Amino acid sequence: MLMGYSFSDLGSILVMQGFAGLIMFSVYLLMALGLAIIFGQMGVINMAHGEFMILGAYMTYECSRLFSAYMPGLFSLYFFVAIIVSFIVPGLLGMALEWSLIRFLYKRPLDTLLATWGISLMLQQAYRSIFGAREVGVNLPEWMMGSTHLSDSIEIPINGIIVMGMTLVITAGVYLLLFRSGWGKQVRAVMQNRAMAGAVGINTERVDRMTFGLGCGIAGVAGAAFTMIGSTSPTAGQLYIVDTFLVVAFGGAQSLTGTIASAFSISQTRSILEFFLSGSMAQVIVLLSVVIILMLRPQGLFVLKVRR
C-alpha cells in the first residue's frame, strides 16, 4: 500500500492528508449543522436543505456581481458581506416557509418530508428561472484562492482554511446560542416537552419559527462557503444532501456533539480510504459501515436521554 513512496513523501502524505481530512470534516460539519438543528430540535426532515444552501451560494454570486459592478475597490472584502446576506435571505425564507407550511405538519413527520421535498423541487425550478439553467461561476477575490506553501511538497489550500475557520466560528456560535442563552433554553425546553414548555409561558410557535430560520440561515452560510470549493447551479444542492443526512443520522439526531463526532469520523475514514483506494470504493465502504453501525445502534452515535 505504501510501496513506492519515500520517507519524506510519507511525511508530506501525512500532513496533507491530515489537512484534506480536516477540510472535509469542516465541510461536512458546516452542511450538517443547519439540518441537525432543524431535524434534531424540531423533528422536521428538511429535504430542501440543499436548496437553502444553494440559495446562499446564489446570494454570494449576486454580491460578487454587485460589488464588481458598483464597488470594485471593495471587491476583495465582499465575501464578508456575502456571508451575512447568505444568512439573512435563506433564514427569512425559512421562517416564511415555517409559517406558511411546516407548522401545519408538525404532527405528521412523514408529510413534512414530502412537503419539503416538493419545496426543494420548486426552489430548483425557481433558481433555474431566475438565475438560468447553467452553472454560474462565482468570482472570488484573489487572496482566497491558491495555497500556502509550507515546504516543497506540502501545500495547504487557503479556501480550505477559510472553510475551517467559518465552521469553527459557526459551531461555537450555535453552541453558545443553544446552551448558554435564554433563547437556547427555550428551544431545548420546547424540544423536550412541547406541552409543558407552552404551559410555563414559552411561545412555542415563535421558538419553532426562529429555530427553523436559524437552521436555514446556517445552510445558506454553508452554501456561501462552498462557492470556494464547488459548483453553483440550480441542482447543486442535491450533491450535498445525501452526505448531510448521512452525517446527521449517524451522529444521532438530537445531539450537537453527535453531529460533530459523526462528521469527524465519516470524513476521516473517507479521506483516508480515498487516498489508498479510489473515490467510488471509499464511498461504498463508508456507506456500508454506516449502515452496519446504524443496524447495531439505530439511534446513532450519541443520544439525548429524554423522558417522553
Helix (H) or strand (E) holding 149: strand 147-149
Q: What's the Cα-to-Cα distance from 82 to each of 30, 72, 173, 175, rounded to whole Å? A: 16, 15, 18, 23
* Of residues 60, 81, 21, 37, the one with CA closest to residue 230: 60
- Nearest approach, Cβ of residue 108 and another protein (Å): 28
Interacting residues of 296 by C-beta distance below 8 A, sequence separation 6+: none
Site string for another protein, 158-177 (x = CB under 8 A): xxx-----------------
What does the alpha-carbon distance between residue 289 and residue 266 come to, in Å, rounded to a whole number? 10
Interacting residues of 106 by C-beta distance below 8 A, sequence separation 6+: 42, 43, 44, 112, 208
- Nearest approach, Cβ of residue 171 and another protein (Å): 19
- Site membership for another protein, residue 157 (CB under 8 A): yes
Grid coordinates given for 128: 433555474
Q: What is the largest CA-CA distance in the chain?
A: 68
Determine which residue in the list 116, 171, 259, 271 makes contact with another protein, applying CB under 8 A.
271
E-strand stretches of 206-259: none
Binding segment (CB under 8 A) for another protein, from list 106-114, 182-190, 203-211, 234-242: 234-242
- Beta-carbon count within 10 A of 295 CB: 8
- Site membership for another protein, residue 137 (CB under 8 A): yes
Determine which residue in the list 204, 269, 283, 289 makes contact with another protein, applying CB under 8 A.
283
Determine which residue in the list 107, 134, 180, 308 makes contact with another protein, applying CB under 8 A.
134
Determine which residue in the list 107, 149, 305, 308 makes contact with another protein, applying CB under 8 A.
149
- Site membership for another protein, residue 23 (CB under 8 A): yes
Site string for another protein, 74-113 (x = CB under 8 A): ----------------------------------------
What backbone phi and psi angles, to 5 degrees, belong to 301?
Answer: -65, -50
Helices 204-226 and 182-192 sit at what angle, rounded to 10 degrees? 110
Site string for another protein, 46-75 (x = CB under 8 A): ------------------------------
Determine which residue in the list 192, 193, 204, 231 makes contact with another protein, applying CB under 8 A.
231
Question: Of the two residues 3 and 195, which places its CB atom closer to another protein in the complex?
Answer: 3
End-to-end, the C-alpha distance of the chain in Å comes to 50
Give the residues lining the site for another protein (CB under 8 A).
5, 9, 12-13, 16-17, 19-20, 23-24, 27, 125, 128, 132-139, 145-147, 149, 153, 155, 157-160, 226, 228-236, 238-240, 270-272, 274-275, 278-280, 282-283
